[in-house]
């Protein structure tokens, strides 16, 4: 004979205070786990969405980022003439030779942080359709004019329209602000590639970006770049390149989150265990009566485990509910690959919901297993006498 599910619900409602405290402890643990996983997911999403599946990034072989890469002009010209490069409406090759450098800017509030300055060409904008000017105008080629991402404009001091910045022994004027959506470009400053190279005395490009002329042309382009004896370069799809950029940071965040969650979960499990032991102690007479009426040990065990799982379910749901509001928050951190500032949003996914709820249920199961075993092992006579 199975114990009705309503029995577990009624007992949780009867012990409101202990139920609320136990659920709150579990909710806190789930909140911490979900928040850290959402941070890692948001970082990955921001960097992956920065790239396009149709674009190819070419950097020096062995470079982990554009900041560490260098491509000579002669090598850049060879890549530019690859047959897999798409041709634009005006007959131009959709290739952008870019340079990436880091500068330190004062953040709003206190302290400085590194910011990416990207020297771009005319072809850079068609290759990045997510970049839209929202204020001011585009910089003019051959001048010390720049445009800044909206995350930079919001998070750093002195980078508004018509403000002047000094770096590379030159003064630069902000003439536009652009929005690149939920991508890493929103955390960059763009200027003319030749002017940026001159200011920083860089004789080489950092990377080449080009559009494929066909979706299945990547492998041919990759072989052409990586097997040419004149080149010491490697090619990646732009989405793959930016995913690699996020892996180290995302892995660190996940390890940190899981470590903190395991530590916090010990307290939540102990709380659940105390709650369930208390429930068993207060219902010894009920347990004896149910056994006398024909309920099996297994039914008693399942009833108390179900009650503990309900605590975990409620705690997981509450933790996820509050964690979902983190999606409205934008944070910035240092990208471990480029050591530059990167702004991103917390992102809640179905996978995170599943992982958090599973963890909550596991906490409930562990916390309720031993009290449930104690209840199931009670002898009928002893339970009735004690009750």
Torsion on CA atoms 137, 138, 142, 146, rounded to nearest 10: 80
Q: What is the pLDDT of residue 62?
A: 86
Q: What is the pLDDT of residue 149?
A: 92
Helix (H, G, I), strand (E, B) or coil at 356: helix
Q: Are 47 and 245 in contact (CB under 8 A)?
A: yes
Q: Name the residue among 38, 42, 27, 44 with its Cα closest to residue 357.
A: 27
Q: Which long-range contacts (CB under 8 A, 24 or more apart) does 253-256 make?
A: 253/36, 253/39, 253/40, 253/43, 254/36, 254/37, 254/40, 256/36
Q: Is 18 strand, coil or helix?
A: helix
Residue with tokens 């990034």: 57
What average pLDDT does the segment 235-258 reach?
81
- Cα 23 to Cα 314: distance, rounded to the nearest angstrom: 6
DSSP notation for 274-340:
HHHHHHHHHTHHHHHHHHHTT--HHHHHHHHHHHHHHHHHHHHHHHHHHHHGGGG-EEEEE-TTT-S
Q: What mean pLDDT do residues 81-102 have?
A: 91
CA–CA gap between residue 126 and residue 79 (Å, rounded): 18
Token pair for 68: 């560490």
Question: Would the CA dihedral through 254, 258, 264, 268 be positive or negative?
Answer: positive
Residue bearing tokens 């105008």: 137
Q: How many CB atoms lie within 10 A of CB 352?
A: 21
CB 344 within 8 A of CB 252: no
SS3 readout for 155-166? HECCCCCCCEEE
Six token digits for residue 143 = 């001048």
Kindly report which listed range (24-33, 131-140, 202-211, 296-305) carries the lowest average pLDDT score: 296-305
Lowest average pLDDT, out of 154-158, 163-167, 382-386, goes to: 382-386
Query: Which of 122-131, 229-238, 271-280 is most confident?
Result: 229-238
Phi, psi angles (nearest 5°) of residue 135: -160, 145
For 55-78, what is each residue's pLDDT tens digit? 999 999 988 888 889 999 999 999
Structure tokens at 49: 């969405």
The two structure tokens encoding residue 98: 């870019």
As a whole number of Å, the CA-based R_g of the chain is 29
Q: What is the mean pLDDT of residues 157-163?
A: 89
Q: With contact defined as beta carbons under 8 Å apart, do 115 and 106 qualify?
A: no
Instruction: Output phi, psi for 182, to 5 deg.
Output: -85, 60
CB atoms within 10 A of CB 74: 9
0.85 surpassed by pTM: no
The CA-to-CA distance between both ends of the chain, in Å, stands at: 22
Decide which of 341 and 154 is more confident.
Answer: 154
Nearest to residue 365, comparing CAs of 300, 317, 318, 313? 313
Residue ranges with strand state E in 78-154: 95-106, 112-120, 132-136, 145-149
pLDDT value, residue 39:
85
Give, as one character, the DSSP assignment of residue 54: T
- For 92, the token pair is 């131009």
- Measured CA to CA, the distance from residue 274 to residue 263 in angstroms comes to 18
- Write out the H or E segment, with its range, that includes residue 341: strand 341-345
Q: What pLDDT score was predicted for residue 61? A: 92
Percentage helix, strand, coil, to 5, in the chain?
55, 20, 25
Report whether pLDDT(15) > 80. Answer: no
Lowest-pLDDT choice from 173-182, 233-242, 244-253, 309-318: 244-253
Nearest by Cα to 200 from 103, 124, 74: 103
């Amino acid at each position: 004979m199975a114990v009705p599910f309503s029995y577990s619900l009624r007992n949780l409602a009867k012990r409101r205070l202990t139920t609320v405290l136990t659920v709150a402890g579990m909710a806190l643990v789930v909140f911490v786990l979900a928040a850290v996983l959402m941070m890692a997911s948001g970082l990955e999403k921001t960097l992956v969405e920065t790239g396009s599946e149709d674009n190819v990034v070419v950097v020096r072989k062995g470079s982990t980022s554009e900041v560490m890469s260098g491509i000579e002009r002669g090598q850049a010209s060879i890549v530019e003439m690859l047959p897999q490069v798409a041709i634009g409406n005006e007959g131009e090759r959709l290739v952008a030779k870019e340079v990436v450098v880091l500068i330190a800017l004062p953040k709003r509030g206190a302290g400085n942080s590194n910011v990416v300055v990207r020297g771009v060409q005319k072809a850079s904008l068609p290759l990045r359709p997510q970049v839209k000017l929202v204020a001011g105008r585009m910089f003019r080629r051959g001048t010390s004019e720049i445009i800044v991402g909206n995350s930079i404009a919001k998070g750093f001091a002195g980078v508004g329209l018509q403000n002047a910045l000094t770096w590379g022994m030159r003064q630069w004027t902000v003439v536009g602000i652009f929005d690149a959506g939920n991508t890493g470009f929103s955390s960059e400053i763009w200027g003319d590639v030749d002017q940026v190279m001159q200011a920083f005395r860089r004789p080489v490009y950092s990377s080449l970006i080009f559009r494929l002329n066909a979706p299945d042309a990547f492998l041919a382009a990759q072989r052409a770049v990586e097997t040419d004896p004149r080149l010491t370069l490697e090619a990646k799809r732009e989405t793959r390149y930016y995913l690699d950029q996020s892996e180290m940071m995302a892995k660190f965040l996940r390890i940190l989150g899981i470590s903190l969650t395991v530590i916090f979960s010990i307290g939540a499990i102990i709380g659940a265990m105390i709650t369930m032991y208390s429930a068993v102690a207060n219902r010894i007479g009920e347990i004896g009566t149910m056994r006398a009426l024909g309920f099996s040990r297994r039914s008693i065990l399942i009833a108390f485990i179900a009650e503990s799982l309900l605590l975990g379910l409620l705690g997981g749901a509450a933790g996820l509910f509050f964690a979902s509001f983190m999606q409205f928050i934008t944070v910035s951190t240092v990208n471990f690959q480029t050591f530059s500032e990167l702004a991103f949003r917390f992102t809640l996914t179905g996978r995170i919901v599943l992982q958090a709820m599973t963890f909550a249920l596991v906490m409930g199961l562990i916390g309720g297993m031993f009290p449930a075993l104690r209840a199931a092992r009670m002898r009928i006579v002893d339970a009735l006498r004690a009750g």
